[in-house]
A and B are shown apart, each in its own frame.
Chain A
Amino acid sequence: MKKMNNANRLDVPDFISIGIYTAIYFVLVTIATFSSGILFAGFAYVLLPALATLISGCVYMLMVAKVPKFGAITIMGIVMGLFFFASGHFILSFGANIVCGVLADIICKIGKYKNKMLILLSYIVFSFGLTGPVLPMWFMKDAYVANLIERGKDAAYIDAMFASINMGTFGICCIAILICAIIGGIFGQRMMKKHFQKAGII
C-alpha cells in the first residue's frame, strides 16, 4: 500500500508526513533541553544541541526514507525555525535552521536520497541548525556585557566571568554536535534496518 509517486514534487501526503516527523523531532529537542538542563546544569546550553542530535537521528532517517524528495528537509528546517522563533527563541535560530536545512537537502539530493554516507553527512549538517537557540550565547554577549557595565559592574571582572564563553566554547559545542550527530545518525540508520525495513514500512 504505497502512495503514488508523482514525479519528484512534494504532494499533500508528503507535507503531512513531514509535519508528523517535524513534530516528533521538535518534541525530542524539547526533551533534550529539559534533560540536559538536569544533567549538565549551567553548562547545559552548550551541550543542548548535541544531546538533541544524539536522540533524533531515527526521526531524520525515517523522514528521508519516507519522503525522498527535494524540499522535504528544507521544509522541516523552515518549520522548525518558525516554531523556535514563535516560542521566543532568538531569530538567528530561524536563519540557522533554514540554511542548514537547504544545505542538508542538497547533500541528500546529490546521493539521490539513497547514498547512506551522504544522508549521514546531511544529518550532521542539518544538526547544526540546532545551534540556533544557542547562538545568542555568543552574539548576545556584547549586549549582555553592555548591560552589566551599565549596571556598574567592573569590566575586568566581567571579562573574567566570560572567559568560559568564547569561541573556544563554540568550538566545543560544534565538535560535540559533530560527534553526536555521527553517533545519532548511525544509530538511526541501524534502527531503520532493524525495525522499519524488516517491518516493511520503508
Chain B
Amino acid sequence: MICLDPRVKLYLLLEANLLLFFHVNTVTEVIIVVLFLLPFFLSGKTKSALRFTIIYMLLLIIGMMTDSAGTNTLLNFVAMAAVGIRMILPCLIAGAYAFSTTTPSELFCALRKCHIPEGIIITCAVVIRFFPTVMEDYRQIRDGMAMRNIYIGMFHPLQSLEYVIIPLLMNGSTVARDLSVAALTKGIGLSGRHTSMVQIKMQIYDWIYMIISTIPLIMFKGGFL
C-alpha cells in the first residue's frame, strides 16, 4: 500500500480543476484520469477506484458510440449528458481519493505544515468530528417524531423543518459546550505551537508523482497532445 502525501492530493485536486480551465482534449483527460486512478488503486481502496474506472470508461464509450449520432435528438441528449458528467469526473475522482485515503490526523499535520492558523484547523477538526453525530442525531429525531405520529411531509414543509432542525441545533449547542470543556482540559487552548504525532513528509516519489501528473497538462498547452 502506497499513499501519497496529503499535499500531493490537494495538488491533484487543483490539477483536476485546471483541466476544466484549460479546456483539455480527451486524450489529455484520459491520461490524467489514469494518473489519478493509479494511486487510488495503490492506496488499497480498490473497490471505489474500480467503480470510478468503470464509470469513466462507460462514459467514454457512450461518448464515442454516439459521436455519429447525427440529428437523432435522444442520442444527442445521451451524448451530451455523458460528456458533461465525464468532465466533472476528474474532480470527483481526485476528491474521493483525497477524502477516503487521508486520516484526519494526517490532514491536520498537513494543514499545520502549510501554516494554516490553528483556529481554522480546530474548526475543520470539529466539522469532521461532528458529521457522524449530525447523521445519528437526525435518525434519533426521526424516531422521536415517529413516536408522535409526525412525519416529514411536503404539506407542512416549514413545520417539518422546525421539528427536525430545532432538536438538531439544541443538541449541537450542548455538544459545543461539552466538547469545549473536554478539549480545554486537554490543553487545546495552549498558546505554543501544536505538534502532530502522525508525521508526514514529502518523499521522493511524492515529488516525482507531482511532476509526472503535470507533464500531460504542459504537453497539451505546448500543443503536443
B184 closest partner in A (C-beta): A12
Residues 82-97 of A, flagged 1 when their CB comes within 8 A of B and 0 if not, give 1101111111000000
Of the residues B87, B158, B172, contact of A144 by C-beta under 8 Å:
B87
A interface: dominant SS:
helix
Q: Is the CB of B84 within 8 A of A144?
A: yes
Bound: A59/B165 CA distance, A:
8
Q: A17-B176, A20-B172, A187-B158 are in contact. Are A144 and B126 (CB under 8 A)?
A: no
Bound: A22/B188 CA distance, A:
20
| Residue B175 is within 8 A (CB to CB) of chain A in the complex | yes
Q: Is the CB of A23 within 8 A of B126?
A: yes
| Residue B173 is within 8 A (CB to CB) of chain A in the complex | yes
The A-contacting residues of B in range 122-145, CB under 8 angstroms, are 122-127, 129-131, 133-135, 138
Q: A22-B127, A90-B20 are in contact. Are A58 and B176 (CB under 8 A)?
A: no
CB distance from A90 to the nearest CB of B (A): 6
Residues 74-117 of A, flagged 1 when their CB comes within 8 A of B and 0 if not, give 01001100110111111100000000000000000000000000
| Residue A37 is within 8 A (CB to CB) of chain B in the complex | no
CB distance from A76 to the nearest CB of B (A): 8
Report B-chain residues with C-beta under 8 Å of the C-beta of A90: 17, 20, 88, 91
Residues of chain B at interface, number, CB under 8 A: 63
Q: Is the CB of A23 within 8 A of B23?
A: no
Q: How large is the interface on A (under 10, 10 to 19, 20 to 34, 35 or more residues)?
A: 35 or more
| Residue A13 is within 8 A (CB to CB) of chain B in the complex | yes
Residues 165-193 of B, flagged 1 when their CB comes within 8 A of A and 0 if not, give 11011101101110110011000110000
Report B-chain residues with C-beta under 8 Å of the C-beta of A79: 120, 123-124, 127
CB distance from A141 to the nearest CB of B (A): 10
Q: Is the CB of B188 within 8 A of A12?
A: yes
Report B-chain residues with C-beta under 8 Å of the C-beta of A187: 158, 161
Bound: A58/B165 CA distance, A:
8
Q: Is the CB of B95 within 8 A of A87?
A: yes
Q: Is the CB of A66 within 8 A of B173?
A: yes
Q: Is the CB of B165 within 8 A of A83?
A: no
| Residue B76 is within 8 A (CB to CB) of chain A in the complex | yes
Q: Is the CB of A24 within 8 A of B67?
A: no
| Residue B79 is within 8 A (CB to CB) of chain A in the complex | yes
| Residue A179 is within 8 A (CB to CB) of chain B in the complex | no
CB distance from A84 to the nearest CB of B (A): 9
Q: A12-B184, A78-B120 are in contact. Are A88 and B169 (CB under 8 A)?
A: no
Q: Is the CB of A13 within 8 A of B175?
A: no
Q: Is the CB of B169 within 8 A of A24?
A: yes
Q: Is the CB of A16 within 8 A of B23?
A: no
CB distance from A164 to the nearest CB of B (A): 12
A-B contacts besides A19-B129, A199-B170, 7 pairs, CB < 8 Å = A12-B122, A16-B180, A19-B123, A59-B169, A88-B95, A90-B91, A187-B161
List 7 A-B pairs, Cβ < 8 Å. Answer: A12-B183, A19-B122, A58-B165, A88-B92, A91-B17, A143-B23, A191-B162
